[in-house]
Amino acid sequence: MTVLTSSTSPLLDARFHQVIAGLDSAHRRPANGGPRNSSERDPHAYIDYGFSIFPEQGDLIYLLCRTIGARRVAEFATSIGMSTLYFAAAMRDNGGGLVIGSELVPEKAAAAQRNLEAAGLLQWTDIRLGDARQTLRNLGGPIDFMLIDGWPGGAGPSLALQVMEIVAPQIRSGGLVMNDNGEADYLDYVRNPANGFRSMSLPLKGGTELSLKL
């Protein structure tokens, strides 16, 4: 087994890659495509599915967090912890920091904590159980990087936009936001200069929006 020393990045640690490989090979989404293609939208009905980011999106999260020296990051949502693992690796390699996660489904939050523990990265995380529209209301100080990787809601504004409106004032100038699902009202928000972001779409997983807080 590789021993994690103070100079060994988690990205060079077999434990990290074992956990990522396990999550990547596990069922990412159900055969019917999940809540976007089904009338069943209750997150509790999907406890066995991660709906996780792709590893290349995780690599980008890690690279960007290292580049900007991120020490305080947050995510909506955590699920079983794929994105959290990359954030936590960056916090660890930046010399310390905190990943504030959010997850509505207790079984998924518990799975994320087990995965982070298995990778030796739990200590850099604070996964808040409950509705992110409540749990991310007070992030305790400016945030360097935010992931908006949400869930289809009902009628009205997307959850991505609702959470973004709550966290946007808490992101520091020069901070970054990544969005995985390209919700139309969310894209309208970050691409409208009046809202204080500069934004572009990256060709990852069919479109990953990256936005800079001006």
Ligand X SMILES: C[S@@+](CC[C@H](N)C(=O)[O-])C[C@H]1O[C@@H](n2cnc3c(N)ncnc32)[C@H](O)[C@@H]1O
Which residues contribute to the site for ligand X (CB under 6 A)?
A: 43, 50-53, 75, 77-83, 102-105, 108, 131-132, 149-151, 159
CB nearer to ligand X: pick between 44 and 198: 44
**At its nearest, how many Å lie between ligand X and the CB of residue 208?**
12
What is the closest distance, in whole angstroms, from the C-beta atom of residue 116 to ligand X in the complex?
11
Residue with smaller CB distance to ligand X, 50 or 175: 50
Residue closer to ligand X (CB basis): 80 or 171:
80
Q: Name the residue nearer to ligand X (CB basis): 86 or 189.
A: 86
Closer residue to ligand X (CB): 26 or 212: 26
Beta carbon of residue 187, minimum distance to ligand X (angstroms, whole number): 17
Q: How far is the CB of 173 from ligand X (least distance, A)?
A: 25
| Shortest CB 60 distance to ligand X, Å | 12
> Which residue shows structure tokens 């004032």?
169
